[in-house]
Structure 1
Amino acid sequence: MVEIKKIAILGGGESGVGTALLAKKQGIMVFLSDKGRIKDKYREVLEHNEIEWEDQQHTESKIFDAQVVMKSPGIPDTAPLIQQLCKQGIQVLSEIEFASWFSQVPVIGITGSNGKTTVTNLVQHVLKEAGINSGMGGNVGNSYAKMVAEEEHDWFVLELSSFQLDGIENFNSHIAILTNITPDHLDRYDYKLENYIESKFRIVKNQTASDYFIYDADDQNITEWLAKNPVKSQLLPFSLEKTFENGAYLENENIVIKFNNTRFTMPTSDLALQGKHNTKNAMAAATVSQLLKIRKQTIRESMANFQGVEHRLEKVLKINNVLYINDSKATNVNATFYALESMESETVWIVGGVDKGNVYDDLLPLVNEKVKAIICLGVDNAKIVNAFGKIVENVVETNSMEEAVKIAYRLADKGDNVLLSPACASFDLFDNYEDRGRQFKDAVRKL
């Protein structure tokens, strides 16, 4: 690593401000620039730490004066400014890569199209219950860079998005988890699934024979890639269909994890989070726990008392015997597939937002079986109406959460579910999926 005297940071959100704090601590001159408006809470941090910043513009002379540029995950590589920087030979990297330069703490890195937030929180929960000093962040919670700057830990548990992994060169997860790969964010990957798959597999790019790779062996995209691209790390698969000498599998409705002649078992009925996808999430987290030699009883108790993640199949309220469920974090088709699969009553489904190249075919059988009415919530709902209009009689278009929830209240009968599971990004009507989920919960509570 070359000695850095100046860094320019593009983006004044969590990752940008975290990088600024770490760079300042390392004695690096910092300039942070955001083309949009920086939120007040981040402005206050920048002012308090006397970090030079601007928003609603990019002063290119200051940006091009830096030796390296950290770009926030939301900025695509194709942005003209990024292209210009690369042409001039200025290194552009991610916050994850930058932070790793200043930390020797081993990382448990978790990526995947779905389930990564649940697995990240579940791993952190088990570690905390076991008394292990770990910090959780990355794509959830605090930025990795901020934790490196301000906290002392023995482990970091990081949720890693494909956008964050795109900007790494030397960063490594000692334990890497890949939950699954289904089409997502294809608008950022030239609408080519293979490009997105390559991005996800960057999590094993720097692994060695002393590292571990935990992955879903039922996922065709993962197994096909591994068949063509051998990795250096020790493989620990998990599956609902296969068995392994080293790995996690199902046996008589028990999770079994075998590793180096040790064996861990736990009935799936004891898991706090039910459903096939959550059995897999538990397998991934419990495999990490086995690697860290956490007591078996602690693992079982942690899996049984885990509270789940906000905005992921979160039960909000029951009104007139109708259950309202917030699954705002379902920003792609596969996540919504899991949500619909887990519905055991007739469902009024709130769906829609910014389409990322979605193909809805896989949802058709579940929608046909479980959905009594569809409420479209987006600026442009044409694709959803076209996909499901012929199999669901009642399809309503809305463009506000309050309206969507009021219509759902009218359409739902006793014993039904009202499910917000958008299968789309949120940026047409909301700040992010959290904002969308909170607006849903607020609207339900006002009924």
Structure 2
Amino acid sequence: MAHKLIILGAGESGIGAALLGKQQGYEVFVSDGSPIKDIYKQELAVNQIPFEEGHHSWDIILGADEIVKSPGIPEKSELMKKVREKGVSVISEIELAYRFSTGKKIIAITGSNGKSTTTALTYHLFKNAGYDVAMVGNIGVSYARQVATAPAEYYVIEVSSFQLDDIKEFKPNVAILLNITPDHLDRYEYKMENYVKSKFRIVMNQTQDDTFVYCEDDPEIMQHLPQQPINSTSIPFTIMKRLKAGGYVDNDQLHIKVDEDPVIVSIYDLALKGKHNLYNSMAAGIAGKTMGIRKEKIRESLTSFKSLEHRMEYVTTVKGVDFINDSKATNVNSVWFALESMEKPIVLIMGGVDKGNDYSAIRPLVQEKVKAIVCLGVDNKPIEEALRNDTPVMVNTTSMKEAVTTALKLAAKGDVVLLSPACASFDLFKNYEDRGRQFKDAVREL
């Protein structure tokens, strides 16, 4: 009997899982409660994979041998309650992909902030050193799709806590945990410790031959570490002090010391600026070094990297005002990093779907640096209530075009207009990329 694999959710990860399952001889069925994008429907049709959209057929789903669940489906949904009652095995797409990447090397990166930048930088390191490497996960192509269509020897994977919630055997050779700050708490019963545990699942299957790379300056990580059995070699990084082994900053130089041959780079030569990027650079550098990349190559890659689209991306200057697209800042902490790295006075465009954000962390930076906030969202009340007294001007807008023209009016020569929303984008945009592109288009039309 063929193994019945049901895929719940037909986004990038679901389609990747379907393609891989089909290729491996599973009997695959895809079910999505919402409409499926045309491009994905065509792929399913071409590969003769049956699917349904707009509803779920319970009898088919509950008759599965195994279910691959999209990271977007919460446990408290009606659907998952029924699945759990029936006791069907549920895995995430990264678990399925891992099953069919035996013998490959895996670098997995998680954390509340900086994941995409660190993933892209780590990929750049391996690519630049001539490795056969693919960058997958939450950034671009799903891991399962890559394994099905263009397998590589090395995978650099950006993983979210939702994907880690449904792993069983997934084991990275290098696991990187950047930081843990309150995000998505709505999915973890509003309990921080549930979210922390979920992030730490990245190390649960590691053995002594593997490496766990973590930030020693993160209070949540350090608080949880003693309670967490870790079998792998732990390598910390910090900007607070010198370390015997790990990543640290000393005399304006970044040190990566995991063997007798340390990598040393002046922080002024690093491609990525800002304090938070020192962490991302150290994490990527440690991953490269543990996998045998030569120090010259690591130094060269850390200084030549180009940053990601929608992450502190300079767009253009209009009438002496710089416009910066940080649409990827979907939580408060990301906005903190953006504000922290700015020297000029800021007109901040923010808003969207609020995930129960606590804006108190950015209040001191808003008071110090932000001359106006332009709210862009369907419901801007949470931002207004939290930050109204911290900035001289606050304006409501309902479209990107309006937000951009308003921001330019409020800015003076030498200021920066920064799109750093702190929220999800689904109220007015398809996703954060769509939001960032609309921002860039509106800026270029000024």
TM range (shorter): over 0.9
Q: How much does 1:211 deviate?
A: 0.6
Counterpart residue type for residue 123 of structure 1 = T
CA distance, structure 2, for counterparts of residue 55 and residue 216 of structure 1: 42
Paired residue for 1:429?
Answer: 428
CA distance, structure 1, for counterparts of residue 151 and residue 63 of structure 2: 33
Are 1:4 and 1:67, in contact at CA under 8 Å, matched by a contact in 2? no
5 Å-filtered alignment, 1:226-375, equals: 226-375=225-374
List alignment gaps of at least 5 residues for structure 2: none
5 Å-filtered alignment, 1:48-447, equals: 48-104=46-102, 105-447=104-446
Single out whichever of 286-295 and 127-136 deviates more from structure 2: 286-295
Residue 284 of structure 2 aligns to a residue whose secondary structure is helix
Paired residue for 1:34?
Answer: 32
Q: How much does 1:152 deviate?
A: 2.7
Q: How much does 1:4 deviate?
A: 5.9
CA distance, structure 2, for counterparts of residue 174 and residue 36 of structure 1: 36
Single out whichever of 391-400 and 175-184 deviates more from structure 2: 391-400
Q: How much does 1:31 deviate?
A: 0.7
Aligned identity (percent) is: 53
Are 1:412 and 1:418, in contact at CA under 8 Å, matched by a contact in 2? yes
CA distance, structure 1, for counterparts of residue 340 and residue 329 of structure 2: 13
CA distance, structure 2, for counterparts of residue 26 and residue 289 of structure 1: 31
Q: How much does 1:140 deviate?
A: 0.8
Single out whichever of 145-154 and 203-212 deviates more from structure 2: 145-154
Counterpart residue type for residue 64 of structure 2 = A
CA distance, structure 2, for counterparts of residue 282 and residue 393 of structure 1: 36
List alignment gaps of at least 5 residues for structure 1: none
Are 1:124 and 1:134, in contact at CA under 8 Å, matched by a contact in 2? yes
CA distance, structure 1, for counterparts of residue 89 and residue 40 of structure 2: 25
Q: How much does 1:391 deviate?
A: 2.2
Residue 180 of structure 1 aligns to a residue whose secondary structure is coil
Counterpart residue type for residue 257 of structure 2 = K
Q: How much does 1:162 deviate?
A: 0.8
Are 1:82 and 1:92, in contact at CA under 8 Å, matched by a contact in 2? no
Q: How much does 1:388 deviate?
A: 1.3
Q: How much does 1:251 deviate?
A: 1.1
Q: How much does 1:56 deviate?
A: 1.2
Question: Aligned residue pairs: how many?
Answer: 445
Deviations 1:300-354 (A, max 9, x none): 1111111111111000111111000000111111110000011111110011111
- TM-score under structure 2 length normalisation: 0.98
Are 1:351 and 1:421, in contact at CA under 8 Å, matched by a contact in 2? yes
Distance 1:446 1:238, change over 3 A: same
CA distance, structure 2, for counterparts of residue 265 and residue 305 of structure 1: 15
Deviations 1:18-55 (A, max 9, x none): 01111111111111011111111111111110110111
Counterpart residue type for residue 90 of structure 1 = V
Counterpart residue type for residue 238 of structure 2 = S
Residue 140 of structure 1 aligns to a residue whose secondary structure is coil
Counterpart residue type for residue 25 of structure 1 = Q
Are 2:2 and 2:25, in contact at CA under 8 Å, matched by a contact in 1? no
Q: How much does 1:243 deviate?
A: 2.0
Are 2:217 and 2:238, in contact at CA under 8 Å, matched by a contact in 1? yes
Counterpart residue type for residue 181 of structure 2 = T
Q: How much does 1:169 deviate?
A: 1.0
Q: How much does 1:357 deviate?
A: 1.7
Q: How much does 1:361 deviate?
A: 1.0
Residue 66 of structure 1 aligns to a residue whose secondary structure is coil
Alignment partner of 1:19 is 2:33: no
CA distance, structure 2, for counterparts of residue 85 and residue 367 of structure 1: 45
CA distance, structure 2, for counterparts of residue 376 and residue 225 of structure 1: 36
Deviations 1:341-377 (A, max 9, x none): 1111111001111111211111111001100000111
Counterpart residue type for residue 264 of structure 2 = T
Runs of 4+ in 1 over 4 A off after TM superposition: none
Q: How much does 1:99 deviate?
A: 1.4
CA distance, structure 2, for counterparts of residue 146 and residue 360 of structure 1: 37
Residue 268 of structure 2 aligns to a residue whose secondary structure is helix
Are 1:191 and 1:357, in contact at CA under 8 Å, matched by a contact in 2? no
Deviations 1:137-191 (A, max 9, x none): 0111111111111123111110001111111111111100011111101111111
- TM-score under structure 1 length normalisation: 0.98
Residue 264 of structure 2 aligns to a residue whose secondary structure is strand
Residue 389 of structure 2 aligns to a residue whose secondary structure is coil
